[in-house]
Structure 1
Amino acid sequence: MNLNNQQSFARTFLKQIMLTGLTALTASMAFAVPSDRNEPVSLVADRATFNEKTGITTYTGNVIIEQGTMKLQANSIVANLNSNKEISVITATGSPARFQQKTDQAKGLAKGQAQKIVYNAETGILTLVGNALLQQDGASIQGNSLRYSMNKGDIEATGTPNSTGSSAGRVKIVIPPSSKKSFPGARD
């Protein structure tokens, strides 16, 4: 390969890596505070690969993507592109993979973690699998898997059936007391 071809390949490769990183981040920013979108994107990893034939970009080795209040940390992140070179699915794996983001100026950081976090950009579904946990402002939901629809705003939590009555492996929801009411329907 001559020097011009090598330089062209390197520019194309770097362009694809950056495009995929930015697109991945944009996809995860669907419910972020507006100011995050104006912040620079930082992506660090030990290794990055792009396969133009398959449309798969892989980041491995303590991957950290940040933009504003959004932070995604994982052992590896794999982004699959569709035929239009747009992100279709992003998969982050770790022990655990973690993310945080401010979704509303009036609320604290929303934080989540699981062994695997999958975002399907085409359906708007975020799935956390393997000891999944979502937390914000003292409220939390955890289970074996959590499935969140960004389009509909609903969440489905799945635990492991447990006939002993203990909480091990089951869905657990914590709702902090309100400053005005101690439980739904309570009077001031």
Structure 2
Amino acid sequence: MVMTRTLALLGCLIPFAAFGQGAEVAFGTMQQDSSLPVEVSADQLSVNQSSGTAIYTGNVVIGQGDMRLAAPRVLVVYAEGAGQIDRLEATGGVTLVSGEEAAEADRADYNVADGTVVMVGNVLLTQGENALTSDRMVVNLDDGTAQMDGRVRTVFQPDEEAPQGEGQ
């Protein structure tokens, strides 16, 4: 399913390096059941047959299993003559969530054929207490990697069970 690859990017976000202007991020393989239904809810739906698009607006939530994509607006563009989804464009503040992992950005563009998700604007990636931020993140869903660009910042929280030094 389309949402399978889109939402699978949330699984196991483990940063390799986040120094300087760019960072590579590994994404673990998430076992997503594509046989589960994809549910879309929104305040409004507008379909344009001539352009092959559909626009969901107002509190849009797309879900499959325990994963969710939420945004104020999602444009669905269908492949010409195929009746299949070519790409999704979520705008207005996008949140992708699965368990404790989450990714947020101003917008997210998912190209189904390329298997890439480009998140742009105030990108925030979290896993538990750890966080990475950047201006742009490109996720390759086929090989499970991502590239973060534009003033990358990482915050790693110390292990709560790590022993503290004397006098601390």
Q: Which TM-score applies when normalising by structure 1?
A: 0.66
Deviation digits for residues 143-173 of structure 1 (CA, Å, limit 9, x no counterpart): 11111111122221122xxxxxxxxxx2112
- Residue type at the aligned position of 2:143: K
Equivalent position of 1:75 in the other structure: 72
Structure 2 unaligned residues grouped into runs of 5+: 12-29, 164-168
Mean alpha-carbon deviation: is it higher for 75-84 or for 43-52?
Answer: 43-52
Instruction: Give the whole-Å Cα distance in 2 for the aligned partners of 1:145 and 1:35.
Output: 25
Instruction: Give the whole-Å Cα distance in 1 for the aligned partners of 2:158 and 2:76.
Output: 40
Correspondence 1:175 to 2:156: yes
- Residue type at the aligned position of 2:88: I
Equivalent position of 1:143 in the other structure: 134
Instruction: Give the whole-Å Cα distance in 2 for the aligned partners of 1:157 and 1:115.
Output: 15
Shift in Å, 1:52? 1.9
Instruction: Give the whole-Å Cα distance in 2 for the aligned partners of 1:27 and 1:68.
Output: 13
Instruction: Give the whole-Å Cα distance in 1 for the aligned partners of 2:32 and 2:79.
Output: 29
Work out which structure has the larger RCO, using CA pairs closer than 8 Å and 6 or more positions apart in sequence: 2
Alpha carbons 1:24, 1:79 under 8 Å: kept: no
Rg larger in structure: 1
Correspondence 1:90 to 2:88: yes
- Residue type at the aligned position of 1:92: A
Aligned-residue sequence identity (percent) comes to: 28
| Paired residues for 1:33-48 under 5 Å | 33-34=30-31, 36-48=33-45
Correspondence 1:28 to 2:6: yes
Equivalent position of 1:133 in the other structure: 124
Shift in Å, 1:179? 7.8
Shift in Å, 1:126? 1.0
Mean alpha-carbon deviation: is it higher for 137-146 or for 28-37?
Answer: 28-37
Alignment size in residue pairs: 143
Shift in Å, 1:29? 4.0
Structure 1 unaligned residues grouped into runs of 5+: 1-22, 103-108, 160-169, 183-188
> Could you say what the CA RMSD is over the residues aligned between the two structures, in angstroms?
2.5
Instruction: Give the whole-Å Cα distance in 1 for the aligned partners of 2:8 and 2:49.
Output: 26
Alpha carbons 1:24, 1:90 under 8 Å: kept: no
Shift in Å, 1:62? 1.2
Higher relative strand content:
2
- Residue type at the aligned position of 1:174: V
Alpha carbons 1:36, 1:69 under 8 Å: kept: no
- Residue type at the aligned position of 2:124: L
Equivalent position of 2:57 in the other structure: 60
Higher relative helix content:
1
